[in-house]
Amino acid sequence: MATGIKDKVAIIGMGCTRFGERWDIGAEELMLEAFDECLADAGIEQNDIQAAWFGTCMDEVNVGKTAMPLATTLRLQKIPVTRVENYCATGTEAFRGAVYAVASGAYDICLALGVEKLKDTGYGGLPGGGSNTGTLLWQWWPNLTAPGSFAQLASAYCTKYRIKDEDLKRAMAHISWKSHENGALNPKAHLRKRVTEDQIMASPIIAHPLGLFDCCGVSDGSACAIVTTPEIAKKLGKKDIVSVKALQLALSSGEEVAFDSWDGDHFVTTSKCSIQAYKEAGIENPREEISMMELHDCFSITELVTYEDLHISERGHAVKDIMNGFYDRDGGGVPAQVDGGLKCFGHPIGASGLRMLYEMYLQLHGRAGERQIENPRLGLTHNLGGFPFQNICSIGIVGKYEG
């Protein structure tokens, strides 16, 4: 019988680049920047790595289709390297491959690395077309934009729960304000300038009700992790070990876009994926047990709805929790986007999931500096790839090893 992966795998090292418009370097240099920090943090030799997983999404405009760029850039010595891609969950998917490999007993020490170099493509947003989105784009998503589709999510949410437009905008402004407050304390964030809620409310509308500050940007970046068993971590002299409590993945089956059972106000995948993650991690009350979260805040409305899909806020009550400061870093609830989130980091797709884990890892080790949370126990990361009506959800839970 399957028992899950709780406490079977430990993270012994992580690295993350500064995210931003990295015009001066390419994807390979980003990979090295993250890897050098990760390897030094792990305290092992490069030759100790037995297998690696490489996450990158936009292959036609980035490093290519194969795993070869990771092997050659890092000079990995004739070991298995696998390239993975799963939309915005790509970084977490690389991590999942490395974690599962260690949990299975196939390898002792594995590497997961994600990277994306998007600012050199000439696009204002994410590039379209290519093997990643071609068929879906012309067959299922004609004339579609990301802000437009997530704005529809906001409209459906307001309609279902009879929330006034102004109240929703104010809650979304608080979400963005919170992220900017946290991002201002993070030297690796792309955007580090504080803004007021009034400035956010007054920003230009992109797709009603989403304004400029409700949308995350595009950036370059890389992040990585080295994982092993808790037993090996102890032999390496690691203290206060961070272990993986759960990793779950859920993809839309097509029911949201093809049938009328979904009313457009939430993410079906996140709701179901989070239940499985809590079960694997042994969590009964996430509102009380989760210490902090990094959510896929591609838009402010995404973060708002995700609070409910994670079963932390009750359905229709996220706005109230937000305005009460429940998700603020010092609000006494469950801090969200502690590092600034996608809102302040941007979204180099292959790196985002591992960047989220990097913040959880720092927090659990007490190494997050000015943004450090008091005595965190469990951290949750959430990726959402695609659109409200057809998407991929990945959830990871990490915490202090108690074995």
**Which pLDDT tens digit goes with each residue over 66-121?**
999 999 999 998 999 999 999 999 999 999 999 999 999 999 999 999 999 988 76
* Helix orientation angle between 165-183 and 300-309, rounded to the nearest 10 degrees: 100
In this predicted model, what pLDDT tens digit does every residue of 290-313 receive, in sequence order? Answer: 999 999 999 999 999 999 999 999
pLDDT for residue 341 is more than 70? yes
CA dihedral (45, 49, 50, 51) in degrees, to 10, reads -160
Strand partners, 105: none
pLDDT score recorded for residue 118:
86
Helix (H) or strand (E) run with residue 184 in it: none
Catalytic residues: 88, 347
pLDDT score recorded for residue 254:
85
Kindly state whether residues 308 and 232 are assigned to the same domain: no
Query: Residue 60 maps to which CATH number?
Result: 3.40.47.10
Q: In whole angstroms, what is the distance from residue 275 CA to residue 360 CA?
A: 20
Residues 6+ apart with CB under 8 A from 248: 273, 274, 276, 277, 280, 394, 395
Domain holding 123, by residue range, is 10-136+220-241
Q: What's the rounded mean pLDDT across residues 351-355?
A: 98
Strand partners, 221: 116
Counting every residue, how long is the chain? 403
Residue 335 lies in a domain: yes
Q: In whole angstroms, what is the distance from residue 88 CA to residue 296 CA?
A: 9
pLDDT over 90 percentage in the chain: 83
In this predicted model, what pLDDT tens digit does every residue of 124-163 receive, in sequence order? Answer: 666 654 444 555 555 555 567 888 889 999 999 999 999 9
Residue 4 lies in a domain: no
In this predicted model, what pLDDT tens digit does every residue of 18-54 receive, in sequence order? Answer: 999 999 999 999 999 999 999 999 999 999 999 999 9
Residue 1 lies in a domain: no
Kindly state whether residues 127 and 146 are assigned to the same domain: no
Residue 5 lies in a domain: no
In this predicted model, what pLDDT tens digit does every residue of 381-393 receive, in sequence order? Answer: 999 998 888 899 9
Tokens matching residue 87: 């939309």
Q: In whole angstroms, what is the distance from residue 167 CA to residue 154 CA?
A: 12
Residue 268: closest CA among 286, 289, 254, 288: 254
Tokens 């915005």 correspond to 88
Kindly state whether residues 237 and 258 are assigned to the same domain: no
* Total tally of structural domains belonging to the chain: 2
Kindly state whether residues 80 and 180 are assigned to the same domain: no
pLDDT score recorded for residue 30:
97
Q: In whole angstroms, what is the distance from residue 247 CA to residue 85 CA?
A: 16
SS3 content of the chain, % helix, strand, coil (to 5): 40, 20, 40
pLDDT score recorded for residue 125:
63
Kindly state whether residues 39 and 149 are assigned to the same domain: no
pTM of full prediction above 0.85: yes
Kindly state whether residues 152 and 113 are assigned to the same domain: no
